[in-house]
Amino acid sequence: MCGIAGFLSSDAALCDRGLLRLMCDRLTHRGPDAYGYFCDHPVALGHRRLSIIDLSGGNQPLGNEDGSVQVIFNGEIYNFQELRRDLITKGHRFATKSDTEVLVHLYEDAGERLPEYLNGMFAFAIWDSRRQTLFAARDRLGKKPLYYSFSAPGMRFCFASELKAMTALPGFEPKLNQRAVADFLALSYVPDPDTIYQNIYKLRPGHSLSVTPAGASVRKYWEPQFAAEPAVHFDQAVEQIRQLGKDAVERRMISDVPLGAFLSGGVDSSAVVGLMAASARSRVKTFSIGFTDRRFDELKYARVAAEHNGTEHYEEVVCPSVHETLDTLAEYFDEPFGDSSAIPMLYLSRMTRKHVTVALSGDGADEIFGGYRRYYFGVLEEGLRQRFPAWFQRSVIKIGARYYPKFDYLPQVFRAKTLLTNLAQDLANSYFTSMSTFRDGGLERVLAPEIRESIRGYSPRENFRERFLAVRELPPLQQLQCVDLQTYLPGDILVKADRATMAYSLESRSPWLDYRLVELAGRLPSSFKLYGRIGKFAFKKAVSPYVPQALIARKKMGFSVPLAPWFRTSLKPTFESLALGPGMEKFCSRREIAKLWAEHQSGLHNHDRKLWNLMVLACWDARQRPTAEAGALAAMAGRSN
């Protein structure tokens, strides 16, 4: 795992090692072990290395025999050994044992089809001096980040693993992307390909980019495919999942440095640990965190899995310092990021890095095998819609949704407003409603007048609808999964995993996101994933030999924190100084923020997710400006230690 950065300069004087070093110094946390560079006008390539494979011989940039092809690479290629053997038989000569060198020689053979041959997580850039072409690609699911821009002063093109490296370039001060502010408040992240800045983009998952003397082009080389409802035998599907899962885990255990696994006590991470234990030559190291608040503590379940597999288990009980974590979020995430589960993820990563350099995780199984409760409710609601005529949905149900009272303080089972609201909409709109924090009128009211005017005609909801329209012929469950693979997975889950682990120079690997498993899951009928109320049905059958039965049957808990009470206690002064303070008016209506704040304090309404997004946005803004606000934020973090 590493950090990469580089540019194509339009002026030979700007092809400078000093500028490249400025960029790479901001990525030291991603690669503390080594720094390497290649500068030859018009290209400059920089690399920060976290050494994982071929510790002595894998330094980058790395070139072919005559130096005409140079690569910088962030990630891991899990099938590099097979690719290497094949390339050797074709006459290629290797100078190292690293997976990086495979990219150079495979590019010589396959050109821009290179990423199609790779099984891994990756973001890389290749300079082809003969063609004067820069070729970059990002892995199929978006596990590794790659940002780029054509707008840096004096540069034809620049790119990096993180935004902070690009904004290190002198004179590059991109403007706020006001549409992205609306997207963030609605979704709690900024979806690909946009970023919080104008004219800086994320390369989409499964895409490559070429910059040539004639111009630039982006190409899609892969996307998840879903079959309508194929005829597949259940037992055969279970066995395929089991065998592919076993292979995916074993490939991700290749490492020349200490390796372990995150263990939450849920099915997904417990299955990874069980498969690791079945093939490991020594005890697997596992890592869990718990909380002093027992409602959010899964340690007892993690211990069950650890004892079942005889792991060398490490755990910590933490009482999160939210002030400290807010500063860390702003420092390492670069964009506003509102998924509060990043808090425990940061603590888990920090603890794990004390013992290992690589950790396997259970990320991705819910998205590809249908594990979320929202999938069950989405399919259920779609079935109910089909029973009502359109006029009934448009009139009776819609009116009921509008006037049914909203009782946030009651247990969830008694809250019918969301159900009525969803039934009055189609699948795309109801899913956006379920996934969003601020929406429609609420988003309109909270945005500052200048932003409302600037983005008039744009709606985060319409962005979602367009994605659903592209897959409208699929069954409801597969529509939901397909949209999640384009939005929530790369925009939220994988950003959280990458930034939280890289903040502590820890590499995270996700076996369930092996693209072969994703393609297999796409070919399975919906009933193999969601069987009645049971999510991940075939997946759970496949991993059951490796997971204690008590964990297979338990209710999904999730990685969450008690935001609602925090905003009424320890977070009150922080919110009031940041989100209710001067500076937020350029983003939001301070009157609307104050209204939400007062309603939450009353206890009759729970606005915790809305308040968290507002505070994260204010925190991010404070960190962008070297002002008293940024200093106050750092001071709050220091006082909390």
Dihedral angle computed from the Cα positions of residues 128, 118, 352 and 549, in that order, rounded to the nearest 10 degrees: 170
Q: Which amino acid type is present at position 346?
A: L
Supply the angle between the helices 427-435 and 460-469 in degrees, to the nearest 10: 130
DSSP string computed for 256-286: SS-EEEE--SSHHHHHHHHHHHHH-SSPPEE
Q: Which residues of 520-557 are buried (b: 16+ CB within 10 A; e: fewer)?
A: bbbebbbebbbbeeebbbbbbbbbbebbbeebeeeeee
Q: What pLDDT does 121 receive?
A: 98
Q: What pLDDT does 181 receive?
A: 98
The DSSP letter of residue 336 is -
For 438, the token pair is 């601020």
Which residues touch 438 (CB under 8 Å, ≥6 apart)?
A: 185, 186, 446, 610, 613
Q: What pLDDT does 114 receive?
A: 98
Residues with catalytic roles: 2
Residue ranges, comma separated, of all CATH 3.60.20.10 domains in the chain are 2-220
Measured distance CA(147)–CA(149) in Å, rounded:
7
Q: pTM for the whole thing? A: 0.92
Q: What pLDDT does 415 receive?
A: 43
Q: Is 503 exposed, middle or buried (0-12, 13-18, 19+ CB in 10 A)?
A: buried
Consecutive H or E run containing 136:
strand 133-138
Peptide bond before residue 42 is cis, with ω within 30 degrees of 0: yes
Work out the number of other CB atoms within 10 angstroms of the CB of residue 111.
14
Going by DSSP bridges, is the β-strand pair 69-77/120-128 parallel, antiparallel, or unpaired? Answer: antiparallel
Q: What pLDDT does 341 receive?
A: 93
Class of domain 234-370+489-553: alpha beta
Q: What pLDDT does 633 receive?
A: 46
Q: What percent of the residues of the chain are helix, what percent strand, and what percent coil, each to the nearest 5?
A: 50, 15, 35
Task: Please state, in angstroms and as integers, the Cα–Cα distance from residue 6 to each residue in 63, 116, 212, 386, 513, following that order.
Answer: 16, 23, 15, 53, 28
91: left (phi over 0), alpha (psi -120 to 50) or beta: left
Q: What pLDDT does 423 receive?
A: 66
Residue ranges, comma separated, of all CATH 3.40.50.620 domains in the chain are 234-370+489-553
The DSSP letter of residue 556 is P
For 623, the token pair is 């960190």
Superfamily of domain 2-220: Aminohydrolase, N-terminal nucleophile (Ntn) domain (3.60.20.10)
Q: Which residues of the chain have pLDDT under 50?
A: 391-393, 396-397, 400-401, 403-405, 407-415, 627-641
Q: What pLDDT does 387 receive?
A: 66
For 373, the token pair is 């409760």
Going by DSSP bridges, is the β-strand pair 312-318/285-291 parallel, antiparallel, or unpaired? Answer: parallel
Q: Could you give phi then psi for residue 290, rounded to 5 degrees?
A: -130, 175
Q: What pLDDT does 402 receive?
A: 52
